[in-house]
Every structure is written in C-alpha cells, then in structure tokens.
Chains A and B, each alone.
Chain A
Amino acid sequence: MDRRKFLQLMGLVSGTTLLSSCGSERNQKELISYLVPPEDGVRPGTAAWRVSTCSECPAHCGITVRLREGRAVKLEGNPDHPVSQGALCMRGQAALWRLYHPQRLRTPLLRTGNGYRPIGWDEAMKRIAEAMTASAEKSRTNMLLTGSTSGSLAALQERFADTCRIDRLPEFEFFNHAALRQAYQLLYGRPRLPRFGIEDADLLVTVGADLLETFISPVGYAHQLSVARREKGLQWSHIEPHLSLTGANADRRLTIRPGSEATLLLWLLQTLAKRRRYARRLPQQILDALPKISLARAMDNSGLPGSSLTELARSLEKARHPLLITGGVATAQLAGGQVALLGCLLQWVLTVPWQGLDFDRAENFGRAGDLRDLQQLNLSLQNDEVGVLIISRTDPVRHSPQKWRLDENLRRARLSIAMTDLHTATSRTTDLILPLTQNFERWDDVEPRIGIHSLIQPAMAPLHNTRSEGDILLELQQRLTGRSEAATYEKYLQQRWKKLFSASQLRAFINKGFVTKGSPRTTISLRTKPTVAALRRIAPSEPLPAPATVITGSIRSFDGRSAVLPLLGEIPDPLTTVTHGNWVTLSPRLASQYGVKDGEELRLTKTDFAVAQPARLQPGLPDGIFGLPIDSLTSGPPGIDPATGEALRVIGGIKAHPTGKHFALPILSGSPSQKGRGIIPKPIHRKGKHHAEHRSLYPEPAYRQYRWAMAIDLKRCIGCAACVASCYVENSVPVVGREEHLKGREMSWLRIEPFYDDQGRASFIPMLCQHCDYAPCEPVCPVYAAYHNPEGLNVQVYNRCVGTRYCSNNCPYKVRRFNWWQHKWAPPLEKMHNPDLAPRSKGMMEKCTFCIQRIRTAHETAGKEDRLIRDGEVIPACAQSCPTDAITFGNLLDPQSAVARLIKTPRTYRVFEGLGTEPAVYYLRPD
C-alpha cells in the first residue's frame, strides 16, 4: 500500500466515523449517554418490557414481552390484563418459538408441481388481484376464510369484503362451541358465549367443559377458579365420561357413561324444578315440555349411583351461587345440541339469578361458524363455484372429516391462498402461501371479549420478508378498487384508534396494553316459545355403546395448532407424561383385556373412522373409554353432528385390536404411583412419623440478610405446566427431542409430577431444585462446582463443572440435568437465548437456580437505592406464569414476607423431610 492510498483510506474511515456519529435526530444534542435514556429503548445489558397480547389461541391473554438488545427473549403474563390476570399458559410461553421457528415461512411461495417457488410480494399480489378479477368475470365467488378474528382486523376484513366483493365466510375454529352458541340463541336470542362469573361462585358443576385445557379461556378460568376456591370456598364437581386434566383437578369427578349427559341434565333439571327456590324460574309450559325421567333411569343411563346423583342435586340446591357449565366433549357429540340446551336451561335456573353469566362481556365468538359452514364451502368447491379462496390463520384441511376430501377439493378453486406463519395441512395444499408477520413484529389490536380492547405491539422488526394480514388486505384492496382504507395497516390502526378511544384511553391502551370500555349490563330473558319447541324435540337417548372413544383437546397443542412448536413437544402431557408423540389412552384393566402394554399399537375402528396409535395406560380412566388426544387424530374428526355443526368427539361402539407393532413412547414418569412415599402426603402418610426430629452434627446454616425460599401450594396447583414452559424459555433450557427423551435425558429444570392413588385420582407436584440447607449434591462435588451461596441458594458454577454427575446421582429429588451433548439451536432460535445467563456446553451439569439472574437484577436495583430487596420484587419465571398463584417466592429471613408467612400454615411440609436435607422449597399439602 502506498502513502496516497493509505491517506485515502484513513480519510474515508475517519470521515465515515465522524459522519455516522453526527446523527440528525433532533434530540441528540449531547453525547452523554443514558442520562437521557435513548428513545428507541434499546440499551445494551438492560431489559425493556412491552405490553402486548398473545394470539396462540382465541382467548387472547395479555402479555408483556421482555426485550433484550432489540429482540424478544421472554413472555410473561400482563398482571393487570382482564382476561388472564397476569398468567400465561405453556402455549403462550411457546409463542416465542413460533416467532423464531427455524421453519417459519420467509417469503411468498408459489406451488409449482410438487414443489414451491419463492416469489416476490408484488408478484403474489398481482396474481391474487388478477385471479380475483378473472373469477368475478367467470361468475365464480371469491371467498375469505379466516380463523378467529376480532378488533381492527375484523373491521378491515369487513370493509375489504364489501369493497372487493369477496365472500367473507364465517370464521373457522375447530373448538367453535357452536352447540352452546345455538342454545343461547334459542334461549335468550344471544348467539354468544357469556363470560362466566366463576370467581363469585361457591359451587361449580362442569359437564364436559375442560375449563383448564381448551375451553374458551383456560388461563383466565384457572385464575378465576383459584380465586373462588380461596375466597368463596368453591366446591367443584366435574362430570365427564373420560379423564381430563380438568376432571383431575375438580374436587369431585363424576364419571358417567358416554352419551348420557342429556339424561343426567334432564334429571337434574326436573329434580331442581321441584324445589321451591327454583320452581318459579321456569314457566309451566317449559316444565310440561320436559320429558319425564326417573331416578332409576338416570342412574341406569349415566352409570352413577343414586347417592351421587341426589348428592349432586342437593349441593346445587344448597349453594348460594351455583354455576353450571356444559361444553367441551359433552356438546361435541350426536346429542350435543340437547346437552347444550339442557345445560343452558339449567344455567337459567341456577346461575342467571345471581348474574353469573355476563353476555355484555361475551367471548369473541360472534363471527365464528362451525363445520357445517366448512361443509358448505366444500360443496361450493366441488361445484367449481369458488374463484379465489383466501384462508388465513386456520387449518380447515386438518380439521375436516377426511371423507370430505377438502384437500383435493381445494385444488378446484381458481386460486387458493393460505396466509400463515408456519406450514399447516391447509397450506400444503394451496396454490399460494403468504407468510404472515408474527405477533411480535406488528401493530394490531384484538377484542377478546366485548368491550375489552387488547393491544398487539411490535417488539422487534420483522425477521423475514413477511407482511401482516392487514397490510395484505389493504394492498389487495388498493389493487382491486384503486383506493384503500389506509396506506398501511399501521395507519389504518391509528385512524381507527383515534375514533375508538379518547386521548386518555389511548394512552392507557399503549401503556397498559388494554382498555376496557364499559357498557351497561343488560338483562336477559328466557324465550319461552322456541324453548318449549326445542324441548319437545328432546328424546333422552341411550348412552353410547361401549367401548367409546373420546377425542380430547390438548393443553399442549390446543386443537393441534401448537404441535409444531418444538418446546411443547418437549413438555410432557400432564396426565400421561408422554412427550413427542401420539398415543391412545386406556385404563390398565382394559389394556390387560386387549393384552397391550405402554407403546403397543392399538387400532381403533368404526365404520368410516380408523386410527392406530400406541397405547398408554392411564390410571383413573374409566374402563370402557379410549382417550384420543386431538394430536393423535391423524385423519380429521370422524364426522360432524349435523344438528349443531360441531365435530363428533365422542363415538361409541368402537372396535379395537392390537396390531402387534410396538412404538417407543417417551414416557417421562417412572411410576404412576408414589408408592406410599409421601411426596404428596395423603392422610395415611401423616399418621406414623417414622423419622425423629432433625438433629444435626453440622453447624446451623448462617444467613445474614436473605434466605431465598419458595412455597408451592399443591391445593392450587393444577398441573398445567405453564411454569415448566416459562422456565424453559427464561433459562434457555435446551430442547433435545424425542430420541433423547426415550433415553430419559430431558433437560427440564422444573417438572410436574402426576401421582395417582388407588382410585385413579391424580395429584400434581411441581418438582424443582429444592435448594437444600444440607444439600447432598454439594459436598460430593470434587471441584466446588456445586456449593451453597450466602443467600441459601444451591449454586452450580458451570465453568467449574467437570461432569462427574455425582451431584445428580446424590440428589434425592433428581432435579439436576446433565448436558449430554453440545445442544444445537437451529437459527434463528438462538436469538431467544436469555443473555443474562452463562452459556452451558456439553459435559456440564445444570439445574434450577431460583432464577438467580432475577435476584441479581433486584440486588442491583436495591443496591442503587441502598435498601434490601422488597418482598415480591423477585418473581421467578415459574411463579410469574402460574395461573393459580400456586408458587410464592421470597426471603425467609424477612418474617413479613409472603413465603415466611405461608410456611407457618399447618399444611406445610417438605419432600423427603426424613432425609435431613432441609429443602428451601416448602409445599402446602392439598388437604
């Protein structure tokens, strides 16, 4: 390099450096950083939080997004949000995996033969617009089919449909609760799903409705239930033919024969109507129209003993605020319409008087259709009536009965388009795929309940060449009509919000993430005439012939949509503890009848329905039932109820036979029973105390200011595993996949252990590092990688660990996890890593740290303000996500702290207390 060139280069470098440092932003007058925080919020090393809304299911819980260095790294519940009250379920936690999913669609794709060709947005839009114009000319109808939509996007869709003459079909959700909506329409003229006032109830009877899993708004319900149990002493009976997580958590689970819900409800209605308190709620015509049913018939039909029935009726009668909810599998069967009608009528009798139903805060299912609408679409496709079909955020191919051949018929549309972020069964059949931006990359709003507007705001720039649905519709509108509602969807939102909210509301909307617009409560009244007519059509049917199959929604994948997220495959199903895979459950007795064991394939058949899945023995499941999680249903639902349009999820007269094939099923639990070990103490464990008081030769632990501890109330824990998912994301716990799970090498720092008693009743206990005072893991480590820190934490120094695994062997709780490999994170998943954590490499032990990074942050804050850390200032990820507030964390040395007060309750115990490990995790036993 000669002198001239050197000087040139130097000039270039210094010049550009100088230029780039004299930014043109107005408020950048001085170069004193962080006295005035940067406006864009990105400060290296510090976290920023943005409020937003989860869109993993139609419930739309409020979230806060934690941002580090300009990317979303963690989701937590928005504490004030009216839908979820600060909790977030495992699917919500896993939404980040959707954002960073390695297989996310990154650009528009055009089908070419068997493959796809990436095309530009311009070309995609042009193709759609041309096809729409062309089909309109050929008198084919253009159609728009979306998943559950609300808020501004719904309004825009409406305008788009109107101006572009496209048929906006009813929204499609697999869990559409059509039977219930039809019943409310019939009874009160309101085809909506009310908000249930569970938190005010003192008795809850649920018939089939899986409140804690997939029924409308599970996180919110779990929270409401927890509050009601705590404050109102709520007693809860759950009635179902199978065993669900919801049933396992009810105070009483009544197992009925499949298909006998209508009979049971009819008998209850009839019995309660005789009581003076309720008699006047029902006009005589209705009473007359009710088919008569004897106790003997009800007993015979439901399979319940008379005492259970009368007790149920008596408890409903005695309760001041009884609440009855039907739904779920109870209304998704051939007699589902009747069940819904009778259930809702019982609500009128029991719940409406104390205003337990709120139709003014109805759930966002106003535009939802059902499978009959899908069937109609299928017919139109078959008749070549469909021009352009845009399918957004929903998967009709997966959720329609296979015999409809919807996937093939979709090809008959002139142009079929799927808008989605990840491939679905539908997108695999359409001609064009438009990749959507994720929740965390765009502005939007939703209205999960009437009057509750919830904000979706971007946390980061789009990762890929994707667009929001709003932008796509606006551009199509522009292309088709020559003008659009707004230049961009963001502009559209601004216009709409200005109209919708006052200035103060808008501020609250942006800061708090939601606005609740009040509306006067309207009263509902029973429409006697149609009710009577409907009741006259009711014919109490016989229960379904055994054995029956019950197709259950999944807490892990909802209707199957979240199954693509690897994190959720990693977290075990709470009841069966199976990960990564499909299965059919059956009771141990039925299994021995068929001669199958865990993992042996069973083929279930009925006339036009067949499914073969490995068996999983499920204690507590009634003997005549095969439980089929919806993910295991490989071929769509077996059929639909033509009366309600819901998918059939209970089918009787199933033929089952073992195929002789064996599948390795990753079952994480080593034993369904706790073998009398008192991990969750039952009264029998408490009688004899084998172990003397703890006396130690060792010195008492000396803590100066903090002794971090946790209290977990097992009465509140519902085993939903939200904490597990939260822990995974917060601590960047590796997701290792099926093969490793088969070897027992899951990496979860926190797990939910279900234990079944002899009667098949399940209890759940979250198990995590117990941070023992006398931790067995610490002294066995030769290199001080495991030691006890002065705040009582059992600390693992990753870089000091040589990997003897002795600590894990010696841990009675087996909560330590070894890195068997150098775990790989397919890009861009590594963007999700929590930068506050030390990285772990192969050969190291890791485990729960009580979220030490959060304790450290609190120390920094408290240190700056020269004070001790306040109670509640440190909330570990698991506690934050818990919908029932079962987990409390704090400083044991502060006698006023919540945890110090909780552990003084008589229900407190610690697991394996006899071992003298003195854990810092205190459990509150369930009874």
Chain B
Amino acid sequence: MNNDISAPQVETDVLTAMRRPGPAWLTGLGLAGLLFAGGLALWAYQIMHGMGVAGITHPVGWGVYITDFVFWVGIAHSGTLISAVLFIFRARFRTSFNRAAEAMTIFALMVAGLFPLIHLGRVWRFYYLFPYPNQRQLWVNFRSPLIWDVFAVSTYFLVSLVFFYVGLMPDLAIAARHRSGRAGKLYRILSLGWTGNLRQWRHYGRLYMFLAAFATPLVASVHSIVSWDFAVSIIPGWHTTIFAPYFVAGAIFSGTAMVLTLVIPMRRVLNLQEHIPIDHIEAIAKILLLTSLIVGFSYVIEHGMAFYGENLFEMEQFRFRALGHYSLLFWIMIMCNAVLPLLLFIRRLRRSLAFLFVLSLLVNVGMWLERFVIVVCSLARDFDPYNWGNYLPSPVECGITLGSFGLFFAAFLVFVKTLPVLSITELKER
C-alpha cells in the first residue's frame, strides 16, 4: 500500500518533518526543559542536605526513585523489541516505528541510568560502583544484583546506542544531501562518509543482523536482571521466580504503550500519516494486548501462588497489596494494566487513534504504579511486624520524577527536529 509512494517522496516527507520548529514545539521543549531544570535543582538540594529530604524511610528504603528506574528501563525495552526482535522476525511494520522507538530506548536509558545515582546516599562516591582497583586493591562485589545492574544497563545503553547509530548512518547521508551549509556538513561527517557502495552495504547488512542478534537477548535479559534486584532478595513479594518473565512482559507492555504515546501525536504533528499506516499501529496495539494478557496473568499467578503457598509472610504481603494502605494504587494498576487493555479485542478500538492514545497514557500510569506497588508494598510489610511502616513520597521525589519526564520529552523533541524520525532507507526498501 505504501509502494505507490516514490522514493524521493519518502525522503522529502521525512526530512520536511525535521524542519520548521513551530511555536508548539518550542513551548513543549521549553516546558520539558523547565521540568528538567527543576528536577536537577531538587537533586542538588538533596545532595546538599541528605537523603532525608526524600520520603523514603525505614523500612521502605526504596521508593519513587527505584520505581522510576524500573519504569524507565522498562520503557526502553520496546525500542529494542521493535528494532531488533521484529527485525529478526522480519515483521515489516517495524519500519514505521523503529527509529522513534530506538530513540526512545536511548533517552529512556539515559533517564533510567540517572536514578540509581539519584537514590545513592553518597552519590559523590558513585564511582565505587565501577569495577576498578582502588588504592586498596578492592574491586566490586560481583555477587550483588546492583553490580549486575551496572553491567546490564551500561551494556544495554551502549549496544542500543550503536544499534541506533548504525541504523542512522545511511539516513544521515541522505539528510546531508538535503541540507546545505554547516548542517549538511555535520550530517555528512556523522554519516562517516557513507556513499552506499556495495562493500559498505554488504558489511552493513551483516552488522545490522549481528547487532539485532546481540540485542535480542538483551530484551529478555536486561529487565530480567532488573527484576533480580528484587527476586534475589528474600523479601516476601520480591522473592519469586516469575519475576523475570513478568518484568520482561511488563517492560514490553509499558514500552509499547510509550511508543504509542509518542508516535500517535508525532504522526499527526509531522504529517507522517502515509508512512505510519493505521495497520501498523494496529499491529503495535496487538503487542500491547498480548503483553497485557501476560502481565494480567502474572498478577493472578503472584496472588494465586501466595495464597496457595500458605506462607504467612507472602499471604500477608499480597493481602496488604490488595486491601492495605496502598490498595487504591493497586486497583488502579489492575484496571489500567489488566482490564482496560482487554478492550483491544475489539477491532474498531484497536484502530481508533484517540482510544489508543488514551489507553497508552493509562498503561503508562498503570505500569508506573505496578513498580511502585512492587517496590513499596513489599518493603512496607516484610517479616517483622514491629517494623511495618508506610511510605509517602516527598515533594522532592515527585519533582525529580517530573524532571525525569522533562528530560525524556526534551530529548525526544530535540530528536524529532534533528534526526530523521523514520528510517528513510528502510521505507524505501519497503
């Protein structure tokens, strides 16, 4: 159906989207930048005064920051899923999303990577977390899930960055041809002098496939490792074997929703309706539906196992989640993640952009709450009842969270105006 669009048409369509930063864009960027600046200021305040300015407490030592970390890492996942896994499965509809999704991965990981630092009590000693021999020849503890995190997230970030860049190379060369002056020069340099000769294409094809092959296990493993931050512990509600697949499904679920959140307005604002056909959006909606079913199933399994297992600690934990202090959040999460997405069984809704946009926002909310419920509830009601205590996020934590959204959206807005938001080369190939 897109075959009737000629190759030059693709180029101009995609590249005109990069021009003309309108007032809406500027306002958006300004707003996002402001949020980010606010978040940074609050972080500085926290570093000066101590972690006490956050609401985290004893026994809930992790709160919104870790929730944010898991949330953003999760968002990152769908980018890799769409670009790498769908590439390997040769799913054609990936071309409508992969560039935006990959950019989203990079930005989400940048944001996610900040949160482990933000939550450190002594962030000025963050380099203790990297494997290097210090003056006492002490390295890091490779048995700690947090070190796995350091490796997993930095690996993920670097591999995604390479993948993103490699995908961009031909497009940068195209952009260079369409731009004159300094911008054109810059694009040309960034494309490393790409001319599209057969030797380049030959190795490029292999490279892309290898990168996809390397990135594919990351889709499964990075969020598995993030889930092991919890599953490796002994805390009821965390210590469970289903966490890895459960988290991976959740990550793809939330990431896919975020793709919709970003692509639906982008498609409209940048006039890319022809290149991102509704059929492709429907395919994404199907992924959303599938992962929602897995996530919903995991909720049932979690609670079912707790009650079937007759473990006092587990039973109390899951009773608390459903009926305790945070039960409102829990039920919002169930609604957003497991119930409302079932409407996607209806074809008409699956193809309704307005519905999908609203749903994707709700799923984002629901998935954030899911991580909050997992992180906070489990800590709030662990083994010794004397220690039970609730947690309330402080304004600083909320501000820094908003700041992280600011950073993410600012980065994405800059991206849509500076880089081709669709893979021109692949669109042509299609």
Please report the total number of B residues contacting A with Cβ < 8 Å.
Answer: 47
Residue A261 CB within 8 A of the other chain:
no
Question: Would A813 and B384 count as touching, CB distance under 8 A?
Answer: yes
Residue A776 CB within 8 A of the other chain:
yes
In the assembled complex, the Cα of A820 lies from the Cα of B54 at a distance in Å of: 9
30 contacts across the A-B interface (CB closer than 8 A): A577-B386, A668-B386, A670-B385, A677-B384, A743-B55, A744-B57, A744-B58, A744-B59, A753-B384, A776-B234, A779-B144, A780-B146, A781-B146, A802-B121, A802-B122, A803-B120, A804-B120, A804-B121, A805-B121, A806-B233, A810-B233, A812-B234, A812-B383, A813-B383, A820-B51, A822-B50, A842-B50, A843-B50, A844-B122, A917-B234
Question: Would B233 and A809 count as touching, CB distance under 8 A?
Answer: yes
In the assembled complex, the Cα of A427 lies from the Cα of B233 at a distance in Å of: 56
Residue B165 CB within 8 A of the other chain:
no
What is the chain A residue whose CB lies nearest that of B310? Answer: A690
Q: Find B51's partner among A679, A818, A912, A915 (CB 8 Å cutoff).
A: A818
Residue A13 CB within 8 A of the other chain:
no
Residue A424 CB within 8 A of the other chain:
no
Q: Which of A773-812 contact B (CB under 8 A)?
A: 776, 779-784, 800-806, 808-810, 812
Q: How far is the CB of A617 from chain B (nearest CB, A)?
A: 15
- Given A783-B140, A804-B146, A813-B383; A821-B50 close (CB under 8 Å): yes
Please report the total number of A residues contacting B with Cβ < 8 Å.
Answer: 54
In the assembled complex, the Cα of A365 lies from the Cα of B146 at a distance in Å of: 63
Residue A814 CB within 8 A of the other chain:
yes
In the assembled complex, the Cα of A685 lies from the Cα of B3 at a distance in Å of: 73
Question: Would A745 and B384 count as touching, CB distance under 8 A?
Answer: no
In the assembled complex, the Cα of A54 lies from the Cα of B341 at a distance in Å of: 70
- Given A814-B387, A818-B61; A676-B312 close (CB under 8 Å): yes
Question: Would B233 and A776 count as touching, CB distance under 8 A?
Answer: yes
In the assembled complex, the Cα of A776 lies from the Cα of B55 at a distance in Å of: 25
Q: How far is the CB of B123 from chain A (nearest CB, A)?
A: 8
What is the chain A residue whose CB lies nearest that of B394? Answer: A743
1/0 per position for A646-687, CB-CB distance to B under 8 A? 000000000000000000000011110111110100000000
Residue A819 CB within 8 A of the other chain:
yes
Question: Would A677 and B146 count as touching, CB distance under 8 A?
Answer: no
Residue A925 CB within 8 A of the other chain:
no
Residue A746 CB within 8 A of the other chain:
yes
What is the chain B residue whose CB lies nearest that of A752? Answer: B386
Question: Would A767 and B51 count as touching, CB distance under 8 A?
Answer: no
Residue B208 CB within 8 A of the other chain:
no
Question: Would B128 and A818 count as touching, CB distance under 8 A?
Answer: no
Q: Find B383's partner among A673, A677, A783, A803 (CB 8 Å cutoff).
A: A677
- Given A783-B140, A821-B49; A670-B387 close (CB under 8 Å): yes
Question: Would B386 and A912 count as touching, CB distance under 8 A?
Answer: no
Chain B residues near A814: list those with CB within 8 A: 58-59, 382-384, 387
In the assembled complex, the Cα of A917 lies from the Cα of B383 at a distance in Å of: 13
Q: Which of B235-261 contact A (CB under 8 A)?
A: 235
Q: Find A745's partner among B57, B62, B125, B387 (CB 8 Å cutoff).
A: B57
Chain A residues near B387: list those with CB within 8 A: 670, 814
In the assembled complex, the Cα of A783 lies from the Cα of B141 at a distance in Å of: 6
Question: Would B51 and A842 count as touching, CB distance under 8 A?
Answer: yes
In the assembled complex, the Cα of A382 lies from the Cα of B240 at a distance in Å of: 75
- Given A745-B52, A753-B386; A782-B58 close (CB under 8 Å): no
Residue B346 CB within 8 A of the other chain:
no
In the assembled complex, the Cα of A784 lies from the Cα of B140 at a distance in Å of: 7
Question: Would B58 and A810 count as touching, CB distance under 8 A?
Answer: no
Chain B residues near A776: list those with CB within 8 A: 233-234
Chain A residues near B146: list those with CB within 8 A: 780-782, 804, 806
What is the chain B residue whose CB lies nearest that of A814? Answer: B387
Chain A residues near B59: list those with CB within 8 A: 744, 808-809, 814
Question: Would B233 and A744 count as touching, CB distance under 8 A?
Answer: no
1/0 per position for B116-145, CB-CB distance to A under 8 A? 100111110110110000000010110111
Residue A817 CB within 8 A of the other chain:
yes
Question: Would B141 and A670 count as touching, CB distance under 8 A?
Answer: no
Q: How far is the CB of B107 from chain A (nearest CB, A)?
A: 25
Q: Which of A616-662 contact B (CB under 8 A)?
A: none
Question: Would A670 and B121 count as touching, CB distance under 8 A?
Answer: no
Most buried by B among A577, A800, A917: A800
Question: Would A679 and B384 count as touching, CB distance under 8 A?
Answer: yes
- Given A780-B232, A784-B138, A814-B387; A675-B52 close (CB under 8 Å): no
Chain A residues near B145: list those with CB within 8 A: 780, 806
Question: Would A912 and B120 count as touching, CB distance under 8 A?
Answer: no
Question: Would A783 and B128 count as touching, CB distance under 8 A?
Answer: yes
| Secondary structure class of chain A's binding surface, majority of residues | loop
What is the chain B residue whose CB lies nearest that of A776? Answer: B234
Residue B307 CB within 8 A of the other chain:
no
Question: Would B58 and A745 count as touching, CB distance under 8 A?
Answer: yes
In the assembled complex, the Cα of A782 lies from the Cα of B389 at a distance in Å of: 26
In the assembled complex, the Cα of A746 lies from the Cα of B57 at a distance in Å of: 9
Question: Would A670 and B313 count as touching, CB distance under 8 A?
Answer: no
Q: How far is the CB of A293 from chain B (nearest CB, A)?
A: 45
Residue B353 CB within 8 A of the other chain:
no
Q: How far is the CB of A736 from chain B (nearest CB, A)?
A: 9
Chain A residues near B316: list those with CB within 8 A: 675
In the assembled complex, the Cα of A96 lies from the Cα of B219 at a distance in Å of: 59
Q: Which of B355-392 contact A (CB under 8 A)?
A: 379, 382-389
Question: Would A781 and B51 count as touching, CB distance under 8 A?
Answer: no
Chain A residues near B119: list those with CB within 8 A: 804-805
Q: How far is the CB of B403 from chain A (nearest CB, A)?
A: 20
In the assembled complex, the Cα of A804 lies from the Cα of B125 at a distance in Å of: 11
In the assembled complex, the Cα of A743 lies from the Cα of B57 at a distance in Å of: 6
Residue B150 CB within 8 A of the other chain:
yes
Q: How far is the CB of A843 from chain B (nearest CB, A)?
A: 3
In the assembled complex, the Cα of A809 lies from the Cα of B381 at a distance in Å of: 11
- Given A776-B234, A779-B144, A802-B125; A809-B62 close (CB under 8 Å): yes
Question: Would A843 and B120 count as touching, CB distance under 8 A?
Answer: yes
Residue B402 CB within 8 A of the other chain:
no
- Given A800-B128, A809-B61, A821-B50; A674-B55 close (CB under 8 Å): no
Residue B294 CB within 8 A of the other chain:
no
Q: Find B312's partner among A677, A783, A818 (CB 8 Å cutoff).
A: A677
Q: How far is the CB of A92 from chain B (nearest CB, A)?
A: 26
Chain B residues near A669: list those with CB within 8 A: 385-386
1/0 per position for A28-66, CB-CB distance to B under 8 A? 000000000000000000000000000000000000000
Chain A residues near B61: list those with CB within 8 A: 805-806, 808-809, 818
In the assembled complex, the Cα of A782 lies from the Cα of B139 at a distance in Å of: 10
The 6 closest A-B pairs by CB, nearest first: A803-B121, A670-B388, A843-B121, A820-B52, A805-B61, A671-B385
Chain A residues near B379: list those with CB within 8 A: 809
In the assembled complex, the Cα of A783 lies from the Cα of B142 at a distance in Å of: 9
In the assembled complex, the Cα of A821 lies from the Cα of B52 at a distance in Å of: 6
Q: How far is the CB of B46 from chain A (nearest CB, A)?
A: 10
- Given A745-B58, A776-B234; A812-B382 close (CB under 8 Å): yes
Chain A residues near B383: list those with CB within 8 A: 677, 812-814, 912, 915
What is the chain A residue whose CB lies nearest that of B391? Answer: A744
Q: How far is the CB of A532 from chain B (nearest CB, A)?
A: 54
Q: Find B144's partner among A577, A780, A817 (CB 8 Å cutoff).
A: A780
What is the chain A residue whose CB lies nearest that of B47? Answer: A843
In the assembled complex, the Cα of A767 lies from the Cα of B58 at a distance in Å of: 15
Question: Would B129 and A802 count as touching, CB distance under 8 A?
Answer: yes
Chain A residues near B233: list those with CB within 8 A: 776, 780, 806, 809-810
Residue B186 CB within 8 A of the other chain:
no
What is the chain A residue whose CB lies nearest that of B61? Answer: A805
In the assembled complex, the Cα of A782 lies from the Cα of B121 at a distance in Å of: 13
In the assembled complex, the Cα of A803 lies from the Cα of B388 at a distance in Å of: 21
Q: A813-B383, A820-B51, A843-B120 are in contact. List 10 more A-B contacts (CB 8 A).
A: A671-B385, A673-B385, A744-B389, A767-B384, A776-B234, A780-B233, A782-B146, A804-B119, A812-B383, A814-B58
Question: Would A818 and B144 count as touching, CB distance under 8 A?
Answer: no
Residue B18 CB within 8 A of the other chain:
no
Residue B322 CB within 8 A of the other chain:
no
In the assembled complex, the Cα of A820 lies from the Cα of B145 at a distance in Å of: 23
